[in-house]
Structure formats: C-alpha cells, structure tokens
Chains A and B, each alone.
Chain A
Amino acid sequence: MKRLLDNETIRGLIMVLFSVILAMAVGSLVMLINGYQPLKVYLTLFKGAFFGKRNFLTSLQRATPLVFTSLAAIFAFRTGLFNLGIEGQFLIGAVIATFIGFTISGLNPVFHVLLALCCAVAAGAIWAFIPGLLKVKLKTDEVIITIMFNYLARFGVSYLVNYPLRESAVAPMTPQIKPSAELVRLAQGTQLNTGFFIALFMVLLAAFLLSRTTLGFGMRNVGLAPRFALFGGIPVNKTILMGMLLSGAFAGLGGGIEVLGVYRRFMEDFSSGLGFDGILVALLAKRNPLGALFAAIFYGGLKSGAMVLEWTSDIPRELIGTIVAIIIFFMAAESIFDFIWNLGNSRVKAVTKEA
C-alpha cells in the first residue's frame, strides 16, 4: 500500500509549524506584558532581517560565520563527539589569518588569501585535534578539554592583541591586513563578501563528505553505533580524530574568513559567541549541512533584524534578545533536549587498543 506522505513526515511538519506558533505566542506574551505591540515588533524584526536588498545582504553576511561554525558542529555531532571548542578554534583561525594578512606583503591577492585561509584551517584543525588525541590516547572527555581549550585560546589571543601584535594605542587590536589579503566585498553598504560563496561551497563539500565518502560512512556509524563500527571494521579511533580535525578545520576557516572579509584586522572579542551559536544552528538544522545553510541564514537574519529593531524602536535590547532567544529555543527545543541528554549520557568512547 502506498502513501504519499508517511505519518512521520507529517508529524515533523506539524511539529515545526507548532513550534513556530508557540514561539510567537510566548514572545507576544512577553511583549504584551512589557507594553509593546507584538505584531508591529515581529513585522519590524522580519522586515529588518529579510526585506530590502541591504537588510537581506546583511543577514547573509551575518550568516556566513555561522555556516562555518555550524558545519564544524555537524562534523563533530555526526561522529558522536561534542566539540564545545568551536569558539576557540574559530578564534585561533582568525588570529592566524590576520597575522598572515598583515605581515606578508607583495603577494598576488589570490595566493595571499589562500595562504591565510590555509593557515587558518590548519590552526583550527590542530586546536581541535589535540583534544581528540587526548580522548583517543588518554580517554579524557572531549567536552571538558575543548572547553578548557576555549579559555586557552581566548587568553592566548588576548595576550597577542594586547602586546606583541597590538597596533593601536586606544584599543586592543592588530594592524589592518594588507589589501591583497582582503576578501572582496560584494555590494556597497554591506560587509557581505566573497566568503559567503566559500561558505556555499563548503556546505556542498560537507554534504558530499558526509553522505558519499567512506570517511562520512565511518563517521555516521561511529557516531550512531560505536560498537557496531568497531565490530564491522571501521577504524574507530582514526575516525574520532578525523571528526575532530574536520570540525576544527571548518571552525578555523570560518574565523579566517570573518577577519579577511569583514573586520580586516583582529579585535579582541569580535566573535564572541559565534562558536556556540554554531552549535545551536546545527541543532536547528537537525545536523544536516544543507539545513545548516538555511538555519544559519534564518539565525543570521534574526540577529540583523534585531539590530534594525534596536535602532528603529524604543524596545530595550535585552527584551529583543529575549524574544530572539525564545524563537530559537522553541524551534530547536527537541534537539536541544537531546543535546543536553547526550552530553551527560551516551557519547562515543575511544577504543582501548587498535593495532
């Protein structure tokens, strides 16, 4: 017997619709209590996010780093790993790319950008690889180690921009990168740059890696059924290492692109929260790379819409933040609970011996 849509799919669609309505309702309630008109606020928010060329392009620009950090999260999740160090890997990638960007001069722009980004990828990858290695060799918990590595990265980077790499006397920031290292902006009046195209390409690459390659096959089996993976002949430890490595690589690349494309120098605290936002976006996208693209645009849009709202209305930014948080939370609620549950429970363990 054939059916067009099975019950599962219908249930999924209803769930999404339901959570959107619920989120809007709860948000409305918060606004009404504080004496604002929900309809007007939502309208401004979504207009600010997606209507008008400038608003839309700004949303895409804000989505760009999220695409990378969410891909980073997806690679770790799929392998059954909880890389909470995306934030740090992103920072390390950003600072290395900046360094290459302002120290070297006289390079062909293509090579200069490529060199800076490759270094960012390598740096992010190494920064994630170490916790992976510790997990495989010493059985340490990657959650704890990656969080520690966030602090290490933050303090290390802070030291760098405050002392050896500091240029400005007023603020802790590095010199500007050379024009040859800049990613080209795409339109006047926005900071959207060619980094967005790299993001699109990476989404496709990630989707391909995960579904069509032997590495992706290994990852999803290690992530879902580690004992089965070991039994069947998948090299579990190697796959764990590759999962961390790729996760870090995407995060590092995101950091590099953010400085080369948007800020063009490294400033302290410029990226705060992008790593964790990436995890949220990945959850929102149900760990699917293509989904992550749309979820990142949605999330980026909400953020830039919130900015517009802040400028054009008298609603305090804390309230705006609360409303955005409510929307995201309801949409990802199921995944978030899953995430927290797994954090405390069934995670991939490294294999004792692998000769």
Chain B
Amino acid sequence: MTPRETILDHKNKRQNNSAIAVCMKNITKVFPRVIANDHVNLTVNKGEILALVGENGAGKTTLMNILYGLYLPDEGSIEIKGEEVRIDSPDKAIRLGMGMVHQHFKMVPTFTVTENITLGNEPAWGKGIFVDKKKARAQVIALSEQYGLKIDPDQRVRDIPVGLQQRVEILKTLYRKAEVLILDEPTAILTPQETRELFNVIRGLVRDGKTVIFITHKLKEVMEISDQVVVMRRGRVVYTSRTQETTPQKLANMMVGREVLLQLKKTPAKRGEVVLAVKNLTVLDNRGLPAVRRISFEVRKGMVLGIAGVEGNGQTELVEAITGLRQVESGNIVLEGREIGMFNPRRRRELGMAHIPEDRMTTGLNMEANLKDNAIVNSYYKSPISKLNILNFKVIEKFTSRLVKEFDIRTPNLNVVANTLSGGNLQKLVLARELAGKPKILVASQPTRGLDIGSIEFVHQRIIDARDSGTAVLLISAELEEILSLSDQIVVMYEGRIVGILEAEEADEETVGLMMAGIKPDKKMKDTSFKEKPF
C-alpha cells in the first residue's frame, strides 16, 4: 500500500492499525560510557498518537534524535512506511516526512515568526535569489488557520512567550510537510489551558492523517491523548501497551521501578518572622513596559508562598527583580529588614538567597562547562571550595559527586560537558546546587519542569524539608497542581497585578483557575492587591 492510498482510504478512520508509519528495529546508541539506547524496538502506527515515557535519562530524546537524523545509530535499522531508510541528517528526515519540536527550541530569536517558519524553504522569486516575503507571510497565515495555531507572523520570536514559540516550531514542521511529528516534552512549558489547546491541535493533526510521537512525564496526559504508550528505562523499552488497557499506576511503576506516592506528605507550616518582603514593586519588561505593577507580598520563615498565574503575567520579571537579574523600576525588595533592590546577585546570595531559575539552558547552567564548574558557581570563591583564590579540585570533586549521588543525576562522570546530559538531569543539577546550602529564602521558578515523576516526588519532599528547617520558599509555577500541593499561601498574578492572596485551605483548582484568568473571587476572599496583610 502506498502512503497516498493510505491517507485516502482511511481518512478519518483512526482504528486503522495495519499501516505502520515508523518502525525502529534494534536501535542501539552508545555515547562515551553511556548506552543511551539498548536494542530498542519501536513501532508507530499511522494516524495514531504514541506516548513515549520514561525516567530522566532513559533515552527518549536520543531515540527521537536518531529518528530525526541528528545521530546515526550504532546498530539497528529504521523503516518508514515499510521501507528501510538511512536517516543521516535532519534534511533527510524532513524529506522522509519527519518533523521534530525539540525539548529545547532551536530558533533564531531575532527573526520574525514568518522568517523562522520558512527558514531554509522560503518561497522565492527571481531565479530563487530573493525571498518572496509576501508569499511567505500569506503561506504562514494560511497554515496557521488551517490547523488552528494562532500566531502573529510579524512578531520577533524573542518577544513572544514560550507557548507561542512552540506553536511556531510546530508550524515550522508542518510548513515542511511533516507527516510524522515528534514532540519532545511539549507540555513541560505549557499552562493547563495551553496544553488543552495543544491537544486540540494534535487531535486535528491526527484527523488529518498525521502521526504524532509525544514525549511527556505527565501520565494524565498520556491517558488523555495517546492511543499507544511505550515506557523506556535505562535505554530499553520495558513496557508497551494500548492506552486503554493500562493505568497510570501501572505506568508509574514501570517507569520508576517502584511505587510512586503521587500524594505529598506534609505537616502544617510553622510560620516565623518575615524573611522577604516585596513592597509596591514595579518592574519593566524587555520592551520597557511595566510587567509587574505595584505588587506587595511577604514570605515568612518556614512557609511556602506559591505564585500562581498563567505564564507571561509578570512572574518572570518579578523573579528576575527579586534575584537581581533585572532592574527594579520602583518599590522595595526587603530581605530580613534590609533593602536589597540595588544588590547584585552575588550579594543577594551571600545574604542567604538561592535561586532556581526557569531557564536552565542560559541562566541556570553553563552548557559548555563540565558538571563541576556548574556545581560550584555559587560557592567557588568560598572555603573549602577555594582557598586564597586557588580552587581545590579534590574538594570540588567530592562536593559534585555528592550532589550527583543525592539527586540521582545520570552521568558517566563529572567531567562531561553539561550539554550531554538529558533535560531532566540538567534540571536536577540546578536543583542540587541551589538546595545544597541552607538558604534563608529559596526562589524556585518552575522547579520540576522536565522531571520524571519519581524525581518530582523527591524534589517536592526536598522543598518541604527545606521549609520545615526554616527556609522561606517562594515558589513560582505554571503547574497549578504543584502550587496547590506545596504552598501554604497562594498569590495569584494576572497582568502584572495580584488578583488575590489565598490561604492553602481556601484554595482549590477552580477558584485559583478563575483568578488566574483575572476574575476576582467573591467576598469570602480578601482583596489584598493594595493593602498587604497576609494574616
């Protein structure tokens, strides 16, 4: 059967299992001292959604990179639509109908949406010398309407939020006529609302006859969207099932190899004195417009204050201002009674601040440096890491290996460059470093983004432990569940303002969800956006 016939014959029929879009056989990929894929077999049915899950470093991204021609496998073969192929470059993969949206995007930030989508395949005139910009723009608009992926074709990619950047990435693959879409943890950076929209898009794509491979750590999503699910562990496929025939518990078990407590155990917070106070804070975004508008709140010793809000409502700028990466326009940031708004990050850290940034690739880590350099960036000038300005390699080695062990960071050794680590393991490295000291205030932005469920459980416990030993925690997360399960008090932000402050007991998904959309709650909640008095 040729592919064309398949599409025509089986349009709108998802139960067609006979046609196989992709078949990977016995794939093995070895990196220096790591077997990333160990004789992996993967079959993807045409017109279906396959969910690929597994713990951090299991080899999911590597497997998909092989399918997309970024790596050649050391062993094994790939068949696409029943024909054996050798995919030795992304170009080849694209010609074979593959499209991939990477875990960490690969776009040109200064280019417009249209330019990024059409890059390399621009419609041309004058013997292909000039780019036909009008036509490119029209094509992009048509494509975005066809699949319900709303974007502004003229904006620069660096100016749009990550959720939209992802749409641009998806449109880019569709522009290149992808038949099989590989989405590597697309929902890690999305809000629940955006995730729902993405799922609608995915369903539309499948209705159109396309095939989707979808990597995620969220089992709820697996159950909701996929037809087939494959679990990987330590480079191997350990479980394959039709989605209807399995349960989240079963999947969790297969992923981590043990029972996962999906419910966090925590005792009520013992709140102490105020550690961090933000008063009438206004912060500007990159374009010079106010992103945070006269916000006030307090975080006390021994509590977790969660900031909920749809991404792009000023949280990023707020965190950057608090941690010293962005200038304060007006207002105060006070740490233990001391104004710190003018201090650089080093001084803030010395006063007891730790920071888990939302962007691990450019802020949280030096991707070109080895794990040891990354582990000591906040302590390199202190004894015993260095003495008299001379680094003590032995101590550094010991310190780093302790972090690696404690957080189960999967790495062949400490000398590898950070960018060889898997996404989740990178995140763990950031967490390990920032939680290592005993911070007075921990500013944690999207702390579990990209982590597998076992690691999330572990990290949540570590955050609660830090709280119980007296750390004040400011938690910022797009993950509403995370906010609700960790926080003792919740601030909801909308368009740079505080919609309301809730105690943990009065917060539930629905109330907070409404507030995140900017809808003020009814009388039972106190309006604290102007007079701040949490309790």
Contact = CB atoms under 8 A, between A and B. Distances in A.
Contacts of A229: 366, 377
Interface residues of B, number: 36
10 contacts: A6-B32, A213-B389, A217-B373, A220-B369, A227-B362, A228-B362, A228-B363, A231-B357, A233-B344, A355-B347
Contact of A214 (B349, B357, B381): B381
Contacts of B377: 221, 228-229, 232-234
Given A214-B386, A217-B373, A352-B327, A233 B345 contact: yes
A98 B42 CA distance: 74
A217 B362 contact: no
A242 to B, nearest CB: 12
B345 A232 contact: yes
Nearest to B377: A232
Contacts of B325: 227, 230-231
B289 interface: no
Contacts of B323: 231
A33 B30 CA distance: 48
B207 to A, nearest CB: 42
B453 interface: no
A231 B380 contact: no
Given A213-B390, A214-B386, A228-B377, A1 B33 contact: yes
B345 A230 contact: yes
Interface string A212-225: 11110110110011
Interface of A: 1-3, 6, 212-215, 217-218, 220-221, 224-225, 227-235, 351-355
B33 A224 contact: no
Contacts of A235: 344, 346
A217 B347 contact: no
Given A1-B30, A231-B363, A355-B347, A224 B378 contact: no
A224 B369 contact: yes
Contacts of B47: none
B435 to A, nearest CB: 15
Contact of A234 (B346, B362, B386): B346
A12 to B, nearest CB: 14
Nearest to A211: B391
A185 B393 CA distance: 40
A95 B366 CA distance: 41
A208 B418 CA distance: 23
Contacts of B373: 217, 220-221
Contact of B362 (A212, A213, A225): A225
Contacts of B343: 355
Contacts of B350: 233
Nearest to A2: B33
B390 A212 contact: yes
Q: Which of A231, A234, A353 has the most CB of B within 10 A?
A: A231
A202 B33 CA distance: 37
B369 A355 contact: no
A231 B369 contact: no
Contacts of B364: 228, 231
Contacts of A2: 33
Contacts of B347: 355
B367 interface: yes
Given A231-B355, A355-B347, A225 B389 contact: no
A228 B376 CA distance: 12
B30 to A, nearest CB: 6
Given A229-B377, A234-B346, 15 more contacts: A213-B386, A220-B369, A220-B373, A221-B373, A224-B366, A227-B363, A231-B325, A231-B355, A233-B346, A233-B350, A234-B380, A353-B342, A355-B343, A355-B344, A355-B347
Contact of B366 (A221, A233, A355): A221
A1 B31 CA distance: 9
Contacts of B381: 214
Contacts of A351: 344
A287 B30 CA distance: 30
Interface string B311-334: 000000000000101010000000
A220 B372 CA distance: 13
Interface string B351-368: 000010100001111111
A225 B35 CA distance: 29
Nearest to B342: A355
A34 to B, nearest CB: 37
Interface string B271-310: 0000000000000000000000000000000000000000
Contacts of A213: 386, 389-391
B366 A212 contact: no
Contacts of B344: 230, 233, 235, 351, 353-355
